[in-house]
Amino acid sequence: MPLIAVLPGDGIGPEVTTQARRVLEALDLGLDFEEAPVGGAGYLASGRPLPPDTLALAKRANAVLFGAIGDPRFEALERQLRPEAALLGIRRELGLFANLRPATLFPGLESATSLKPEAVDGLDIVIVRELVGDVYFGEKGRRTNVEGLRQGYDVMSYNEAEVERIAKVGFEMAKRRKRKLCSVDKANVLETSQLWRDVVNEMSTDYPEIELTHMYVDNAAMQLVRRPNAFDVIVTGNLFGDILSDQASMCAGSIGMLPSASLRAWSGDNGMYEPIHGSAPDIAGQGKANPCAAILSAAMLLRHSLNDEASAQKVEKAVGAALAKGARTADLGGSLSTTEMGDAVLRELA
């Protein structure tokens, strides 16, 4: 029986994860669920954002269903005790280097986006973000420089193997879609990006059927709101991918709509699945959060970790059907609570 580790986290994490778990349970696939605290909840339970038992469960499980972390009560703690340390820790410990972030616009949500409806009509793009390298994992620190000024630094670096494995995910993904891959970097300024571009170009000879383009990240930010549909698959580093995917969420109506999968192989491994949003302290505990991103993350779990494409599509269709009937949480201009939105999806699933 496949084991699903459920790590709800803090803030709206538990609220949305509950709905995602309900959906998985309703499919009656004989899954085992085991829950463990992480982030602010981990700190409260054991004084550590990533308790060893939680990490062990994540490693043991066939897949991890993750909520969100970032309880502001713990913001003042030293970096390794803050909730965010748990997320970086799991990603690193599980080697989850490939973060897939699809951005699709469900019919009917055109009015929820901040862009012109015709610009986002039929939106269907995927951002492939590198997840365990870049400036997030490089050497970082504070020091006093020679002039006696306080200085902070974070080193950005990628080696060729790290670029190659994420670029491969981008190429393979493009192969199964519209065969267009856009690699986003800042090669006009950054040495890291120069290497990134060299490696991606070298690999492109193995993928003659893929139309490869390169774009600087600042231009990509502009194109993403100008003509998002011109993209198919975007492959990029950790920092640029983080920013561009939040931006892409606005093309899809709400950040509460965007799921993600974090993998360490193309498919079939014990990946981690989570909405791209954070713990949303401004709405936590009020039952207002949109659970769709979490529910769609569960669909990705079915697809990538359990190789159950049929069930994945069933869940995605149920979300689409609920939205088509007008089910909306506040972020989408409606008034349903988190649980009511979950109910609406479950009704369609039945």
Q: Could you say which of ligand NAI, Mg ion, none residue 68 binds, taking C-beta under 5 to 8 angstroms by partner kind?
A: ligand NAI
Binding site residue list for Mg(2+):
218, 242, 246
Q: Where are the alpha helices (DSSP H) in the chain?
A: 13-26, 40-46, 52-60, 83-93, 117-120, 160-175, 191-204, 217-226, 238-251, 292-304, 309-324, 338-349
Q: Which of 213, 256, 309 is nearest to 103 (CA)?
A: 256
Give me the least distance between CB of 136 and ligand NAI, in Å please.
Answer: 12
Active site residue 136: yes
Q: Could you say which of Mg ion, ligand NAI, none residue 283 binds, taking C-beta under 5 to 8 angstroms by partner kind?
A: ligand NAI
Q: Could you say which of Mg ion, ligand NAI, none residue 242 binds, taking C-beta under 5 to 8 angstroms by partner kind?
A: Mg ion
Q: Taking the CA of residue 139 as centre, how many other CA atoms within 13 Å lie in the half-sphere pointing to its CB?
A: 2
Which of positions 228-287 make contact with ligand NAI (CB under 6 A)? 255-256, 274, 277-283
**Contacting residue, 23, 65, 68, 261, with ligand NAI by CB under 6 A:** 68
End-to-end CA distance of the chain: 23
Active site residue 175: no
Give me the least distance between CB of 62 and ligand NAI, in Å please.
Answer: 21
Cβ burial, residue 114 (10 Å; 0-12/13-18/19+): exposed
Active site residue 218: yes
Give me the least distance between CB of 283 and ligand NAI, in Å please.
Answer: 4
Return the number of the residue (242 or 316) whose C-beta is nearest Mg ion: 242
Return the number of the residue (167 or 263) whose C-beta is nearest ligand NAI: 263
**Contacting residue, 10, 185, 242, 348, with Mg ion by CB under 5 A:** 242
Q: Could you say which of Mg ion, ligand NAI, none residue 256 binds, taking C-beta under 5 to 8 angstroms by partner kind?
A: ligand NAI
The one-letter code for the residue type at 113 is T
Cβ burial, residue 158 (10 Å; 0-12/13-18/19+): buried
Please give the structure tokens belonging to residue 274.
């989570």
CA of residue 128 relative to chain centroid, distance:
9
How many residues would you count in the chain? 350
Active site residue 168: no
Active site residue 121: no
Does 331 interact with ligand NAI (rule: CB under 6 A)? yes
Is residue 78 a contact partner of residue 47, using CB atoms and an 8 Å limit? no
Give me the least distance between CB of 244 and ligand NAI, in Å please.
Answer: 14
Give me the least distance between CB of 60 and ligand NAI, in Å please.
Answer: 21
DSSP per-residue string spanning 132-200: S-GGGTS-EEEEE-TTS-EEEEE-----HHHHHHHHHHHHHHHHTTTSEEEEEE-TTT-HHHHHHHHHH
Which residues are marked as active site? 136, 186, 218, 242, 246
Q: Which residues bind ligand NAI (CB under 6 A)?
A: 12, 16, 68-70, 84, 87, 255-256, 274, 277-283, 289-290, 293, 331
Footprint of Mg ion on this chain (CB under 5 A)? 242
